[in-house]
Amino acid sequence: MKKFLNDPAHFVDEMLDGIYRAHPQVTYVNDDKRCLVVAARKPGKVGIATGGGSGHLPLFLGYVGDNMLDGCAVGGVFQSPSADQMHEVTKYIDQGAGVLYIYGNYTGDIINFDMAAELADIDGITVKQVIGNDDVASSVVGEEHKRRGVAGIFFVYKVAGAAAANMLSLDEVTRLADKARANVRTIGVALSSCVVPEVGHATFSVGEDEMEIGMGIHGEPGIGRTKLAPADAVVDEMMQRIFAELPAGNGDEFAVLVNGLGGTPKEELYILFRRVSQLFEERGAKVKHVWIGEFATAMEMAGASISVLKLDAELDPLVAAPVHTPFFSHIKA
């Protein structure tokens, strides 16, 4: 293991200390650095919170900021935050209009977020939840409730954040966030493993000449392991599965996120997007919004994911809205 570390047991907390020192627009509550919140609150606005394990930056806490999220609870590397931590975040970000939880479809997160919502209810805070499940490789059509939440949650954050910034009600923010969730699909491909600092060795192995399409961001098994193929062929196989659920026809508009998993150069991500763009052009569809880079990683895993959101007149302006967070900024075109 080659990493810039002091004590592996302090990896998460020292990382968080660095973030707070670098970005004064975020702070923490209850003297717990794992309860990250915006420093400036807006009275009457719906609060939006997320949470999950560390090791995925900029997911989850990197999207706390202007016009996106208001708070985030983080756990250890690939570990869920506690219900108490999520509850503390909820109490801080509630400004009288209620709180929306947006998080990925993982058992530990569901249990702890449900408990936090129950604690918030005792405090008189109304909480609603939208659970991301965009990974098409993790379950079949008809069993979407079993699918993992991965990089496509970025679009759910963006839509919900813009809706809340427009001072819409909790019910309306929840409706729009859920609409985004229902219209986004993601599939990933891994070329290598990653190393959890406290473990000290690779969590799984991928052969030098192999790839695994559909592998999850914690190393969950994918659709199958095959020999490494040319980039265009890899994209064709990935997008075939997305188009099967989000058909792209003449005049349809989409937003696309090509996401690096932590160990893939940006140059390679643009090679992948080149083919994605060609496939939309062949169908007469338009890619209206594009983001390429690292948005949901798995430590230093080599690989990438492609997320596609189908746009309409309601979702498009919310996706296009400007945001500014410590890890992501977007100026409306």
Q: Which residues are catalytic?
A: 56, 218
Helices (H), 150-210: 153-165, 170-182
The whole-angstrom distance between residue 280's C-alpha and the CA centroid of its chain comes to 23
- Rounded CA-CA distance 55/197 in Å is 10
Cβ(253)–Cβ(229) below 8 Å? no
Neighbours of 230 (CB within 10 A): 10
Taken in order 212, 214, 217, 220, the sign of the CA dihedral is negative
Burial per residue of 90-124, b for 16 or more beta-carbon CB atoms within 10 angstroms, e otherwise: bbbbbeebbbbbbbbbbeebeebbeebbebbeeee
DSSP string, 155-170: HHHHHHHHHHHTT--H
Beta bridge partners of 309: 184, 255
- Specify the pairing of strand 26-29 against strand 32-38: antiparallel
Residue from 52, 54, 66, 82 nearest 23 by CA? 66
- Rounded CA-CA distance 38/128 in Å is 20
Cβ(271)–Cβ(223) below 8 Å? no
Cβ(222)–Cβ(237) below 8 Å? no
- Rounded CA-CA distance 254/236 in Å is 17
- Rounded CA-CA distance 333/324 in Å is 14
- Specify the pairing of strand 253-260 against strand 286-293: parallel
Backbone angles phi, psi at 193, to 5 degrees: -90, -175
Neighbours of 271 (CB within 10 A): 17
